[in-house]
Chains A and B, each alone.
Chain A
Amino acid sequence: MTRTFVAKGMEIVQQDMQQILLRGKGDGSFADTVNKEISLLPPTDNLRMINNDEFLFAKQSFDQWSLVCLKPKPEKEIFRLVSAFNANEEILASDYSNTTYFEITGENKDHYLSKLTHFDLRTKKFPISTMAQTLIARIDCSIYHFQDKYLVTCHSSFEDYFKDRLQDAINL
């Protein structure tokens, strides 16, 4: 865990997490396969997320889910999970661990993010326990809305650029 950026009323912490991207029908067979491995039932509403201490599970679209391991796991365990999901011939699971994760907290987090994204972050439009896929600093990102923080993810190839933009948003 690295403390990355601090500004007035906001803190951004880069986290070490892993992720699996799942595609499938979302039917009973899908839910059973998932539940067997992580003891969570996949959310059924689009852009809804559920989480426990270990996992965050979000429905990104009608046939796509992201499973984020909030606590780092051995790489072999991720491979095992991917294989277990892929054993169901109607599921495609891909290891998406090469993603960059930022936890953003503080009462001014919306203000700083609004320098980088047009997305409507007001709670009445972006409720807690929902997620969004949108552009932040002109790159594809996902935002997961927890009770008191956002988890923002983007492709790791953008990591340096994204950090520069975050720092720039704080500086200006």
Chain B
Amino acid sequence: MSEHKIYFKFDGKTYGGNEGDTIAAALLRNNVKLVGRSFKYHRPRGIYTCGIEEPNALVQIINEHNEPNVRATVKKIYEGMVVKSQNRWPSLKRDLGSINNILSPIFSAGFYYKTFMGPKGFWKNVYEPLIRRTAGLGKPPREFRSKSIHLHHNVDIVIVGGGFSGLLAAKKLAGTNYDVLLIEREDSLGGILKNTKKIELINDQNPSDWIEKTERLIQNSRNIKVLKNTLMTTYNFSDHLIAVEDKSVGKPQDNEKPELVLHKIRTKQTILANGHIERFISFRNNDLPGVMLAASFEKYIQKYGVVPEESPVIFTNNSSTFSLVKSLVDLGHKPKAYVDVRDQKKIEKETVELLNKYNIPLYAKSEIEGCEGKNEISKVSIRVKKNEIIKIKTSMLCVSGGFNPDIHLFTQSKGLLKWDETILAFKPEKTFQNTITLGSVSGNFSYEKLIGEINKKLDFFEGINDLEIKLNINGPKKFQIKELWETNHAKKSLWSKSFIDLQNDVTTKDLKQAVLEGFNRIEHLKRFTTNSMGTDQGKISSINALGIVSKILKKSVSEVGTTIYRPPYAPLSFSAIAGRSTYEFYDPERKTPVHPWHVKHNAVFEDVGQWKRPWYFKKHNNESMEQAVQRESKQVRESAGILDGSTLGKIEIKGKDALAFVNLIYTNSFTKMKPMTARYALMLGEDGMVKDDGIVCKINDQHFLTTTTTGGAANVLAHMEEYAQTEWPNMNVYMNSITEQFSTFNISGPKARTIMSRVFNNIDFSNESFPFMTFNNFDYLNTKVRILRASFTGEPGYEIYVSPKHALTLWERIFYYSKDLDLVPYGTETMHLLRAEKGYIIVGQDTDGTVTPIDLNLNWMIGKKKKDFIGKRSLTRSDIVRSDRKQLVGLVPLNKAYGIEEGQHVIEEKNLNTPIKKPVKMLGHVTSSYFSPTLNHSVAMALIKGGNRKIGSQLYVSTSDLNVIPVEVVKPNFIDPKNERLIS
């Protein structure tokens, strides 16, 4: 415990705390007990626990981007921290929202479900906006850029929890050949040894010396890594665990450093030594500030050196509270009363002796009836006999209702639980994964038995020795408990409540009402009442709810069963989940070798797959995309344009059976194709639908080069590999993706040939020597280039394939030789416009996985004489050959001034009534549409029912402002239908 003073603000007032204090510890140090308002009723709430299980003390950290719902019992203070209470207005002490508490008698279980049923329209316009505005505790954080990171671990053993059990397990494994990761959620190891007075000596050493010595042994062992301030949140299948480490504990966030580290851990064995959670007892006004769990009260004393109250009242049903009394009397303080529901004969003699020694009033076989106070407890009512109640003035009441093994992670791992009548709690019964539970999480609340348990459960690990530990235990050695979930309370007023879920403001009355209404299954009841559905997942109360329900249903708790604990164990920030996969690293980026040139020439990029492709090039800053695309398109048609097509997928196929393979993969026939020629090819799925397209270049019957769409490259290669390996394993054929190994430039336009002749002045590009759809390899610039005559614009065109190392040089040389030829670099948007003018499809835009080659009028690409190819059988199915399938057609607006919008419906109706009251028959939709600068009007392609038969007819296309425009259905080829320019 440090004495270094730290100053922070809570609700505008400055407080001092010690270094290492949590916000809660510091507030208690300053005697502040009221820290928030409850979720539904806006009742005053205080600090109930001393850890992650806290349901009440949730605050907002203003100087950390408004981080809401931070547990004051976990977050450590630092100099200048600004903390604000939540869910109150105008102030914490005087909150207008507390009117809900006055109205609370009508807010019974299921209030929302029952009340907001009508009148019609009210939900959307009145109830929902109102509830949304009032719901929630804190305010959402402001925009900030997280620097949280992910860290991967592969280890042999993970120990969750650095308390006594975890330390013993680590000590046993120290120096072995196992890689061990020890995860501790607090800033120091030792757990209960540091937080209580339960253990006096370990091997004749005081616990803090033993912890220090053991920690040193672990640190020096080299095979164990310790992570502190790290919360294990998730236990997934296959022994995959996720933990989050807070790197900014006790210091302000540094925007240049990671605030959180998400540890992703693969292990062979998981040792859960994550302890237990104390639970409360329900009684009248058990939510008032000043009510605190007994073990938490002791932790504030032992860990933080804060005594929240020197003379509290203690209320228990078990043997554990001896330790709290000892902690108080050792400091010279004295509880005002010790209330135990057990008969005096059943109370451990050590406790009775201690109480007698210090003259502390013991009320045996008694219970707390309730407590009173405005913003905190002022007095408690103790029922000492059936009808006799005495009142004691106090500002704090310490409650212990027993302990639950912290089974959340165990149940996340799909382990099975069993109800234990001796400890009145669920404990692990059967593991589902490689999980070992040690200590109190396994239901063992006896320190004396712990050593034996660890020796026994870990004995299968190689190279370990039995632990020999001698313990001197303070107080009762055996844990004993009497069942008590709720005390009987006198009805004081309509506003007195006995809470079962403090975070969601669920009362024990709500549970009873839910059962009365037929919700007698615990999972239904949970959802109807919202019990244990808060961010704390009812850590201190969910088992109490089972206990109460079991009494109502007259069943045992094991018959009632438990609800499922889901990950994460406690809320974790989205920034931790996202890690570095945000902003600049949201998705990996791929760049072509010419990327720097594009940047220099004002390219605006679009993401295609992971590639950064020039979308269009801005001639000047004021040029819009539309203007740029019109300019680029016109220039390509009038002179020439160049496109960086390096992203195009490329696959090399080779082997004795390469020809047979390519014939099966694509619809076209390649048998009679001459070497060094190319062919536009279609690839179908088994269902006969178009999967991808590209150009197949035949070097010879054993060696082919194919291209794919940019986005489809990886899938096409995987598709080919799958068929080669699983369907036709006897074929001798191999394929490599060579997408990255060649940069590709597409030059097209009337001046393309001139440009090519200047750049490659030793090559004859005449039609006769270099006809359409042929290719060849040439030596150039001390490397090799492959040139293919092909075009995706309808203009004469060439594709140049060159090693990426030489790509930028060649690209610049092309421009150098084209200075007087008006060569324009163009992007993907212009490419789309140009191909649409020519009626060329884009797979994925003009097709959607339901389109066959027949629908696209590409029957000519189907090798009719081929024995087989993927999808062939499907093309003969009756549904596929239906004449009224959606077919690809062209659309031209009758009024050339109108534009056609992509994605709009094609219909027969002349008018659309607004609002549309009866269904409008949809013939299809517009797949591509552009304004053609060459034709000076819009051109579009559409998939419409029986499209081929409708060519020449008039239809209508809807618009986004619910109008229609008349269009003529035409063949989808708007420029050079006879391909005269293309092959010129």
Which residues on A are within 8 Å of B, measured CB to CB? 21, 23-24, 63, 75-76, 79, 86, 89-92, 94-99, 114-115, 117-122, 125, 137-139, 155-161, 164-165, 168-169, 171-172
Contact = CB atoms under 8 A, between A and B. Distances in A.
Given A98-B803, A115-B149, A23 B656 contact: no
B655 A115 contact: no
A80 to B, nearest CB: 12
Interface string B734-757: 111010110000000000000000
Contacts of A76: 782
B592 interface: yes
B480 interface: no
Contacts of A157: 590-592, 611, 740
Contacts of A89: 655-656, 702
B588 interface: yes
Contacts of B257: 172
Given A23-B735, A79-B784, A90-B656, A164 B588 contact: no
Given A23-B654, A92-B654, 10 more contacts: A92-B653, A96-B736, A97-B805, A118-B266, A121-B154, A158-B589, A159-B591, A161-B590, A164-B584, A172-B149
B741 A92 contact: no
Contact of B179 (A95, A114, A122, A172): A122
B804 A23 contact: no
Contacts of A99: 740
Question: Which of A75, A76, A97, A161 neighbours the largest number of chain B CB atoms within 10 Å of its CB?
Answer: A161
B224 to A, nearest CB: 15
B585 A165 contact: yes
Contacts of B591: 157, 159-161
B786 interface: no
B734 A120 contact: no
A157 B739 CA distance: 10
Cβ-closest 8 pairs across A and B: A23-B734, A157-B590, A120-B154, A92-B654, A92-B734, A94-B736, A118-B152, A98-B804
Contact of B151 (A24, A75, A115, A119): A115
Interface residues of B, number: 44
11 contacts: A23-B735, A86-B654, A92-B735, A114-B152, A118-B264, A157-B592, A157-B740, A160-B589, A160-B591, A169-B149, A172-B147
B588 A137 contact: yes
A94 B741 contact: yes
A140 to B, nearest CB: 9
A43 B256 CA distance: 46
B720 to A, nearest CB: 12
A119 B468 CA distance: 38
Interface in B99-155: 147, 149-154
A24 B656 CA distance: 12
B575 to A, nearest CB: 13
A23 B741 CA distance: 16
Contacts of A119: 152
Interface of B: 147, 149-154, 179, 256-258, 264, 266, 580-581, 584-585, 588-593, 611, 652-656, 702-703, 732, 734-736, 738, 740-741, 782-784, 803-805
Contacts of A79: 784
Nearest to A171: B256
A117 B152 contact: yes
B152 A96 contact: no
A21 B736 contact: yes
B803 A97 contact: yes
Contact of B741 (A75, A95, A160, A171): A95
B540 to A, nearest CB: 36
A98 B741 contact: yes
Given A98-B804, A156-B804, A158-B589, A92 B154 contact: no
A157 B589 CA distance: 8
A85 to B, nearest CB: 10
Contact of B782 (A63, A75, A121, A139): A75
Contacts of B593: 156
A125 B782 CA distance: 44
B588 A138 contact: yes
A97 B732 CA distance: 25
A169 B592 CA distance: 24
Nearest to B155: A122
B589 A122 contact: no
A130 to B, nearest CB: 15
A155 B585 contact: no
Contacts of B150: 115
Contacts of A86: 654, 703
Contacts of B149: 115, 169, 172
A94 B147 contact: no
B585 A164 contact: yes
Contact of A98 (B152, B266, B611, B805): B805
Nearest to B782: A75
Contacts of A139: 588
Contacts of B738: 94-95
B588 A158 contact: yes
A154 to B, nearest CB: 10
B615 to A, nearest CB: 18
A79 B782 CA distance: 11
Contacts of A138: 581, 588
A117 B735 CA distance: 28
Contacts of B740: 96, 98-99, 155-157
Contacts of B656: 89-90
A139 B591 CA distance: 14
Nearest to B733: A92
Contacts of B152: 114-115, 117-119
A137 to B, nearest CB: 7
Contacts of B589: 158, 160-161
A125 B154 CA distance: 10
Contacts of A118: 152, 154, 264, 266
A116 to B, nearest CB: 8
B588 A90 contact: no
A168 B652 CA distance: 36
B736 A92 contact: yes
A133 to B, nearest CB: 13
A141 B319 CA distance: 59
A100 B264 CA distance: 28
A24 B581 CA distance: 38
B500 to A, nearest CB: 42
B266 A120 contact: yes
B151 A114 contact: yes
B732 A94 contact: no
A137 B584 CA distance: 13
